[in-house]
Amino acid sequence: MNSVLKAWETGIVRRWHTNTHLCDTVDYVCGHTGRMATMAVYLGWGSLALLEAIATHDKGEKFVGDFSYTFKRSYPQVAATIDSIETKETLETGFPTTYLTKDEVCRLKLLGSLDAVFWMRMHRPDLEERSDWKELVSDTSIGFLGTGVDDPLENSSLDYDVKES
């Protein structure tokens, strides 16, 4: 198989497939990473290393699937094994190893969480009342402390005009 095509296919992985509340939404890894990169550039966090990590951080999910935040928090040893497999598969696909500073690692995680919260708020805002989502929102807001960036989750309700057919 063409190696560029193989790399491209790693972006065509459905997110949320194990989440009973969001599995009907259509969100691919390539959309997730694109939104993360957009936010990184907007926030002035657009170092080449961070953007490369954003572009490749979920590529291994092509081989193992997308595991939820709640699952990873509940089973950290399993999550570490999954992360190791994802990294191995990402490298075997031909993506480079990316070296990040501690700040960049924190930013990568924050951007991923921020994207998840915005996705939930767009598609199922009622979920924010659940304890698992409250925890993610809280952890994400706390993560922005000391970054010099105002908390993007504060006053960020997504109001859309819905047109009647």
pLDDT tens digits, residue range 50-86? 999 999 999 999 999 888 888 888 999 999 999 999 9
Report pTM.
0.87
**Cβ neighbours for 2, distance < 8 A, ≥ 6 positions apart:** none
**Cβ neighbours for 36, distance < 8 A, ≥ 6 positions apart:** 54, 108, 111, 112, 115
**Cβ neighbours for 42, distance < 8 A, ≥ 6 positions apart:** none
- Residue 14 DSSP symbol: B
CB 83 within 8 A of CB 34: no
pLDDT tens digits, residue range 81-136? 999 999 999 999 999 999 999 999 999 999 999 999 999 999 999 999 999 899 98
**Residue reference for tokens 């990040």:** 100
What are the chain's domains?
3-143 (1.10.3210)
CB 115 within 8 A of CB 92: no
